[in-house]
Amino acid sequence: MARTVFHEEFCKGCGLCIEACPKKILAFAEHRLNHKGYQAVDCLRPEECTGCAICARTCPDVVIDVYREAGQAEGS
Which amino acid, 7?
H
CB of 63 to other proteins, least distance (A): 9
33 pairs with which residues across the strands? 39
Nearest-angstrom CA–CA distance, 73 and 14: 29
Q: Which is nearer to other proteins, 19 or 48 (CB)?
A: 19
Site for other proteins, rule CB under 8 A:
1, 3, 9-10, 12-16, 19-20, 38, 51, 53-54, 56-62, 64-70, 74
Distance of CA 2 to the CA centre of its chain: 11
Q: Which lies closer to other proteins via its Cβ, residue 12 or residue 23?
A: 12
Residues paired with residue 37 on neighbouring β-strands, in sequence order: none
Residue closer to other proteins, measured from CB, 3 or 45? 3
